[in-house]
């Protein structure tokens, strides 16, 4: 996803000379092409996220669109007050890009896991929150947020996320994407764990059950309408996300309040994991896996 991010950003910056990129001294071997092409619109701020968010505000308030780049929780937690008071309150045109959302940095440990980011960014006023599932959505999301005036948070995976969309979906910053239609159960996912939902739908199909798979790349503003329409049809919904409480499960729960349906959130429930493990293993430790999704779906379908 990060390659798609930088390639798309470079092509957007070719056409729009008001696009800037700031790095918090991260993005080695990724960001160099932007710096080479647009040296006057690139700065490595240094290891100083508060300063990066403040400087981005100053550049944006001077008439520019500023992308700030770092990894996992780095570009949002240390500088949360700068995001709230400077970027969001002034509705500054700053796009915060985090690579390695979720637990993509695996064995690097909890300091490098971005698993509360969606929840925190949702609380920020004027903020659009985007979490694409694959390189196709990433490219579409980049184009959309560059056009959208105002603060955005873009949560990306890291490097080897597979392409899930075989054809280009319609992408809009106010819409969820129906990946595959079904009538028995709704599987709504945000980020690269959409893959788990797609695989579970395949398994369920073998057993004669039709899952509707919805990708939710935009968590704020949240497309409750698409979710509600699907839940009215299926009466069952499972949310899947590589995130703690406060993310997709929360926005779905808020929107289905008062609707008679079954709801199960599959998310990161455990306290911080303190042993080394890769991303897949960490997710399994949290109970987030294709197997657990399938089990939950079958249980829900048998009720």
Partner 1 sequence: MMTTESLSKKIRISALKMVHRANASHIGSCLSIADILAVLYEKILNINPTQPNWPDRDRFLLSKGHAAAILYAILAEKGFIPLDSLQTYCLNGSALLGHASHKVPGVELSTGSLGHALSVGCGMALVAKRNSQNYRVFVLLSDGELDEGSNWEAILFAAQHNLDNLIAIVDSNKLQGFGTVEQIIRLEPLTDKWISFGWSADIIDGHNHSQIINKLSKLPFEKNKPSVIIANTIKGKGVSFMENKLEWHYKSPNNEQLQTALIELERAANR
Q: For residues 285 and 283, what is the distance between their CA atoms, to the nearest angstrom?
A: 5
41: closest CA among 78, 14, 73? 14
**Would you count residue 57 as binding partner 1 (CB under 8 A)?**
yes
Among 86, 93, 134, 241, binds partner 1 (CB under 8 A): 86
Taking the least distance from each CB to partner 1, the nearer of 76 and 140 is 76
Distance between alpha carbon 139 and the CA centroid of its chain, in Å? 13
Among 64, 70, 98, 230, binds partner 1 (CB under 8 A): 64
Taking the least distance from each CB to partner 1, the nearer of 94 and 267 is 94
Torsional sign, CA 256, 260, 266, 271: positive
For residues 12 and 146, is the Cβ–Cβ distance under 8 A?
yes
Among 15, 28, 29, 40, binds partner 1 (CB under 8 A): 40
Q: Which stretch binds partner 1 (CB under 8 A): 39-47, 239-247, 281-289, 295-303?
A: 39-47
**Would you count residue 12 as binding partner 1 (CB under 8 A)?**
no
Scanning the structure block, which residue is given the tokens 């197997």?
Answer: 291
- For residue 111, what are its two tokens? 């300091």
Taking the least distance from each CB to partner 1, the nearer of 21 and 196 is 21
**Would you count residue 125 as binding partner 1 (CB under 8 A)?**
no
For residues 158 and 130, is the Cβ–Cβ distance under 8 A?
no
For residues 179 and 206, is the Cβ–Cβ distance under 8 A?
no
Q: Which stretch binds partner 1 (CB under 8 A): 42-50, 178-186, 240-248, 254-262?
A: 42-50
Torsional sign, CA 281, 282, 286, 290: negative
**Would you count residue 202 as binding partner 1 (CB under 8 A)?**
no
Residues lying near partner 1 in the complex (CB under 8 A) = 40-41, 43, 45-46, 48, 50-51, 53-64, 81-82, 85-86, 89-90
């Amino acid at each position: 996803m990060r390659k798609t991010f930088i390639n798309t950003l470079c092509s957007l910056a070719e056409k729009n000379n008001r696009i800037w990129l700031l790095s918090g001294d991260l993005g080695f071997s990724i960001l160099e092409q932007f710096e080479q092409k647009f040296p006057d619109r690139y700065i490595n701020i240094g290891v100083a996220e508060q300063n990066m968010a403040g400087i981005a505000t100053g550049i944006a308030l001077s008439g520019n669109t500023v992308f700030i780049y770092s990894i996992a929780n780095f570009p949002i937690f240390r500088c949360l007050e700068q995001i709230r008071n400077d970027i969001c309150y002034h509705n500054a045109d700053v796009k915060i890009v985090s690579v390695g959302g979720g637990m993509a940095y695996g064995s690097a440990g909890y300091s490098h896991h971005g698993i509360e980011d969606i929840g925190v960014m949702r609380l920020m006023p004027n903020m659009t929150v985007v979490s694409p599932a694959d390189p196709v959505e990433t490219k579409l999301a980049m184009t959309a947020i560059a056009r959208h005036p105002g603060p955005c948070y873009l949560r990306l995976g890291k490097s080897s996320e597979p392409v899930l969309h075989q054809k280009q979906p319609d992408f809009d910053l106010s819409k969820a994407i129906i990946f595959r239609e079904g009538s028995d159960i709704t599987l709504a996912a945000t980020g690269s764990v959409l893959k788990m939902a797609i695989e579970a739908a395949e398994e369920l199909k073998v057993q004669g059950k039709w899952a509707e798979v919805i990708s939710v790349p935009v968590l704020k503003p949240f497309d409750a309408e698409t979710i509600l329409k699907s839940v009215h049809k299926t009466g069952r919904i499972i949310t899947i996300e590589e995130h703690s409480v406060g993310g997709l499960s929360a926005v779905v729960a808020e929107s289905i309040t008062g609707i008679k349906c079954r709801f199960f959130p599959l998310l990161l429930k455990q306290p911080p994991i303190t042993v080394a493990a890769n991303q897949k293993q960490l997710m399994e430790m949290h109970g987030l896996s294709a197997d657990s999704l399938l089990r939950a779906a079958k249980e829900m379908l048998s009720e």
